[in-house]
Structure 1
Amino acid sequence: MLILHTSDWHLGRSFHGTGLLQAQREVLDQMAATVRERGVDLVVVSGDVYDRALPAADAVEVLDRALAELVSAGAAVVLTSGNHDSAIRLGFGGHLMGASGVHFRTRMDQVTAPVVLEDPDGGLVAVYGVPYLEPRHAGQVWEVDPNHTAVTAEAVRRIREDAEARFGGQDQEAAVIAMAHLFAAGGAGSDSERDIGADVLQGQPPENQETENQAPENQETENQETENQETENQAPENQETENQETENQETENQAPEDQETENQEGRADCPSEELLVGTLGQVPVSVFEGIDYVALGHLHGRQRMAETVRYSGSPLPYSFSEANHTKGGLLVRTAGGTVTGVETVDWSAGRKLAVLRGRIEDLMDNPDHAWAEDRWCQITVTDPLRPPQAYRRLKERFDGLLNFVLDPEVGAAAVKSTYAARLAAATTDLEVCTGFVEHVRQRPASASETALLTTALAESRTELGDEGSAA
Structure 2
Amino acid sequence: MRLLHTSDWHVGRTFHGADTLDALVATLAEVAAAVRRERIDAVLVAGDVYDSAMPAGRHVAALSAALAAIRDAGARIVLSSGNHDSPARLGANAAFAAAGGLHLSTDALDPASWRTTLDDEHGPVQVLAIPYLEPLALRAALPEAGIATQADAMRWAMDAVRALLAEAPGRSVVLAHCFAAGVAIADDAPRDITAGGLDVVPTAAFDGIDYAALGHLHSRQVLAEHVRYSGAPLHWSFKERTPERGAWLVDLGAEGLEAVTWLELPVPRRLTEVEGELEALLGDARLDGTEGDWVRATLTDRLRPIDAMRRLQSRWPHCAEVVWRAPEHERSGETYGSLVAQPTDAELVGAFLGHVRAGVGASEAELALVADALARVDAEERDR
User: CA-to-partner distance for each residue in 1:371-407, whole Å, 9 max, x for gaps?
Assistant: 3211111101012223344333322211211111111
Which residue among 279, 295, 299 is the counterpart of 1:377? 295
Residue equivalent to 1:94: 94
Q: More displaced, 71-80 or 397-406?
A: 397-406
Tell me how far 1:325 sits from its aligned partner. Answer: 1.9
Q: More displaced, 139-148 or 363-372?
A: 139-148
Q: What SS does the aligned partner of 2:328 have?
A: coil
CA distance 1:411–1:2, change in 2 (3 Å): closer
Tell me how far 1:350 sits from its aligned partner. Answer: 2.7
After TM superposition, list the pairs within 5 Å mapping 1:337-416 onto structure 2: 337-410=255-328
Residue equivalent to 1:127: 127
- Give me the whole-angstrom Cα distance separating, in 2, the residues matched to 1:166 and 1:11: 35
Residue equivalent to 2:162: 160
CA distance 1:413–1:72, change in 2 (3 Å): closer
Tell me how far 1:337 sits from its aligned partner. Answer: 4.2
For these two proteins, the number of residue pairs brought into alignment is: 331
Max Rg structure: 1
Residue type of the alignment partner of 1:27 = T
| Higher RCO (CA < 8 A, seq sep 6+) | 1
- Give me the whole-angstrom Cα distance separating, in 2, the residues matched to 1:190 and 1:154: 28
- Give me the whole-angstrom Cα distance separating, in 1, the residues matched to 2:4 and 2:266: 16
Residue equivalent to 1:181: 177
- Give me the whole-angstrom Cα distance separating, in 2, the residues matched to 1:14 and 1:413: 35
Q: What SS does the aligned partner of 1:371 have?
A: coil
CA distance 1:91–1:380, change in 2 (3 Å): same
- Give me the whole-angstrom Cα distance separating, in 1, the residues matched to 2:194 and 2:297: 30
Tell me how far 1:323 sits from its aligned partner. Answer: 7.5
Residue equivalent to 1:118: 119
Indicate yes or no: 2:69 matched with 1:151: no
Tell me how far 1:115 sits from its aligned partner. Answer: 0.7
Residue equivalent to 2:15: 15
Tell me how far 1:293 sits from its aligned partner. Answer: 0.6
Tell me how far 1:193 sits from its aligned partner. Answer: 4.1
- Give me the whole-angstrom Cα distance separating, in 2, the residues matched to 1:313 and 1:384: 38
- Give me the whole-angstrom Cα distance separating, in 2, the residues matched to 1:65 and 1:344: 25
Tell me how far 1:134 sits from its aligned partner. Answer: 0.2
- Give me the whole-angstrom Cα distance separating, in 2, the residues matched to 1:135 and 1:314: 24
Residue type of the alignment partner of 1:164 = A
After TM superposition, list the pairs within 5 Å mapping 1:18-417 onto structure 2: 18-113=18-113, 114-120=115-121, 122-142=122-142, 143-167=145-169, 174-199=170-195, 201=196, 276=197, 279=198, 281-322=199-240, 324-410=242-328
- Give me the whole-angstrom Cα distance separating, in 1, the residues matched to 2:331 and 2:200: 43
- Give me the whole-angstrom Cα distance separating, in 2, the residues matched to 1:413 and 1:13: 37
- Give me the whole-angstrom Cα distance separating, in 1, the residues matched to 2:140 and 2:164: 21
Tell me how far 1:123 sits from its aligned partner. Answer: 2.7
CA distance 1:306–1:410, change in 2 (3 Å): same
- Give me the whole-angstrom Cα distance separating, in 2, the residues matched to 1:180 and 1:101: 20
User: CA-to-partner distance for each residue in 1:439-461, whole Å, 9 max, x for gaps?
Assistant: xxxxxxxxxxxxxxxxxxxxxxx
- Give me the whole-angstrom Cα distance separating, in 1, the residues matched to 2:329 and 2:265: 44
Tell me how far 1:322 sits from its aligned partner. Answer: 2.6
Please list every run of 5 or more consecutive structure 2 residues that lacks an aligned counterpart in the other structure.
335-384
Q: Is the 8 A contact 1:24 1:316 kept in 2?
A: yes
Q: What SS does the aligned partner of 2:78 have?
A: strand
Q: More displaced, 153-162 or 21-30?
A: 153-162
- Give me the whole-angstrom Cα distance separating, in 1, the residues matched to 2:191 and 2:259: 31
- Give me the whole-angstrom Cα distance separating, in 1, the residues matched to 2:284 and 2:299: 14
- Give me the whole-angstrom Cα distance separating, in 2, the residues matched to 1:306 and 1:141: 33
Q: Is the 8 A contact 1:304 1:311 kept in 2?
A: yes
Tell me how far 1:412 sits from its aligned partner. Answer: 8.3
Q: More displaced, 364-373 or 83-92?
A: 364-373
Tell me how far 1:17 sits from its aligned partner. Answer: 1.0
TM norm structure 1: 0.67
TM norm structure 2: 0.82
Residue type of the alignment partner of 2:96 = L
Q: Is the 8 A contact 2:203 2:223 kept in 1?
A: yes
- Give me the whole-angstrom Cα distance separating, in 2, the residues matched to 1:101 and 1:181: 22
- Give me the whole-angstrom Cα distance separating, in 2, the residues matched to 1:192 and 1:411: 25
Q: Is the 8 A contact 2:219 2:241 kept in 1?
A: no
Tell me how far 1:109 sits from its aligned partner. Answer: 3.8
Q: Is the 8 A contact 2:230 2:248 kept in 1?
A: yes
- Give me the whole-angstrom Cα distance separating, in 1, the residues matched to 2:322 and 2:266: 25
Q: Is the 8 A contact 1:190 1:300 kept in 2?
A: no
Residue type of the alignment partner of 1:34 = A
Q: Is the 8 A contact 2:188 2:241 kept in 1?
A: no
CA distance 1:399–1:139, change in 2 (3 Å): same
Please list every run of 5 or more consecutive structure 1 residues that lacks an aligned counterpart in the other structure.
168-173, 202-275, 417-471
User: CA-to-partner distance for each residue in 1:200-258, whole Å, 9 max, x for gaps?
Assistant: x4xxxxxxxxxxxxxxxxxxxxxxxxxxxxxxxxxxxxxxxxxxxxxxxxxxxxxxxxx
Residue type of the alignment partner of 1:295 = A
**Moved runs in structure 1, 4+ residues, more than 6 A?**
411-416
